Amino acid sequence: MPDNAASEARPAPTMTNGGAAETKRQRVRMLISALGMLPVLLILSLGFHFLSDGRFFTGQNLGIVLQQAAVNTVLAAGMTFVILTGGIDLSVGSILAASAMAGLTMSKLPELGALWLPAAVLTGLGFGIVNGALIALLRLPPFIVTLGSLTAVRGLARLLGADTTVFNPSIPYAFIGNGSLTLVPGVASIPWLSVIALLVILVSWLVLRRTVLGVHIYAVGGNESAARLAGIKVWAVVIFVYGVSGLLAGLGGAMQAARLYAANGLQLGQSYELDAITAVILGGTSFVGGIGSIWGTLIGALIIAALSNGLILVGVSDIWQYVIKGLVIIGAVALDRYRLQGSART
């Protein structure tokens, strides 16, 4: 198909020989788009710091923010994989609950208690693969499949504990929920939940940017038909991304279980999928797929956590927190659109 007008009208930096200046400008542009929402996060944090008379940037408070961001970061990492392929996973909150229930139930078995952690993660993986298989093999729309499993898996989560709260005060590996990794004894430590979240981000980055599979994920999201013609096994990529999303939801469930020593199939993880999707969108990942980065997602998750924490520090009432959070999300994405428009095409 002939070139469309937009690209023809574009000034052609490609043809000029003044390459040095062009690449420099391009680098600045790439830096801006890589930084993405980082300035928003910093401005928000500084704002809260001053409004709360310097209570935001304290070691203790930052630890709390990181810990609050941890589970959502893990879910949002999985969601990033899914949204990069142009899909959506609405079922992560329910899968988190079911996995936590499965894990806690397992932890109470005398012989196998120590295996509760893999049990939770594998439960999540299983649900994720079922989602992926339905989408890839039966060609059902992701929104509908995961909307269905949002409800169905929630039911299974309740079933797992006979619709009660399951407690286990002596759950193994409880330290991952409440302990901290000491960096400098007595000075700096970081919650294990945050360590796990950062590891998840790092591994996600490795998969997305340094493996063949990662390129294939971007390719499927960018142009599914072209990916198929280019010999990519689209079905395998789709099952993989929903598998990852499920697996990380399972990990999130384990993190919650270890933190609370308990899980309730009805209440745990309610509407977590919305926070995860919000983090991905705030991170600049395109909703149609093919464009985005895992670092953006991390910043998105931190913005959400900083916002919750900061509004409490400043003393905003619970009701207004909702309103302000919603508006900040819309405003941040609008800002992002504006910024991209200015730098990209005419």
Partner 1 sequence: MNDPILEMRGVSKSFFGIKALRAVDLTVYAGEIHALMGENGAGKSTLMKILSGAYRPDPGGEIRIEGKPARIEGPLGGRAAGISIIYQELSLAPNLSVAENIYLGREISRSGLLARGTMREGVGPILERLGADFLPSTLVAHLSMGQRQLVEIARALHARSKILIMDEPTTALSAGESERLFALIRQLRAEGLAIIYISHRMDEVYALGDRVTVLRDGRLVGSLDKQDIRADAIVRMMVGRDVSSFYKKDHDPEAGKGHPVLTAIDMADGQRVKGCSLRVHAGEVVGLAGLIGAGRTELAHLIIGAAPKISGRLELEGQPIDIRTPGEALEAGIAYLTEDRKALGLFLDMSCLDNINLAVLGRDATLRWFLDRDKARERADRAFTGLSIRAANVGVPAGGLSGGNQQKVLLSRLLAIAPKVLILDEPTRGVDVGAKSEIYSIIDNLAKAGTAILVISSDLPEIIGICDRVLVMRAGQIAGEVTRGPNSPLTQEDIMALATGTEHIDA
Residue whose CB is less far from partner 1, 22 or 163: 22
Residue whose CB is less far from partner 1, 43 or 137: 137
In the complex, what is the shortest distance from the CB of residue 244 to partner 1, in angstroms, rounded to a whole number?
15
Residue whose CB is less far from partner 1, 319 or 345: 345
- Pull the structure tokens for residue 65: 């923010």
Relative orientation angle of helices 19-35 and 318-343, to the nearest 10 degrees:
170
In the chain, what is the greatest distance between 2 CA atoms, to the nearest angstrom?
A: 73
Torsion, Cα 77 79 82 86, to 10 degrees, reads: -120
Would you say the C-alpha torsion 110, 116, 119, 123 has a positive or negative sign?
A: positive
Please name every residue paired with 181 in a beta bridge, in sequence order, or none if there are none.
190
In the complex, what is the shortest distance from the CB of residue 50 to partner 1, in angstroms, rounded to a whole number?
38
Q: Which residues, in sequence order, are CB contacts of 283 under 8 Å at separation 6+?
A: 36, 37, 76, 80, 292, 293, 294, 295, 296, 297, 298, 299, 300, 301
In the complex, what is the shortest distance from the CB of residue 3 to partner 1, in angstroms, rounded to a whole number?
4
Residue whose CB is less far from partner 1, 46 or 215: 215
DSSP 114: G
In the complex, what is the shortest distance from the CB of residue 86 to partner 1, in angstroms, rounded to a whole number?
12
Residue whose CB is less far from partner 1, 212 or 319: 212
Binding region for partner 1 (CB under 8 A) = 1-5, 7-15, 19, 22-23, 26, 210-216, 218-219, 222-223, 225-233, 290-291, 346
In the complex, what is the shortest distance from the CB of residue 6 to partner 1, in angstroms, rounded to a whole number?
8
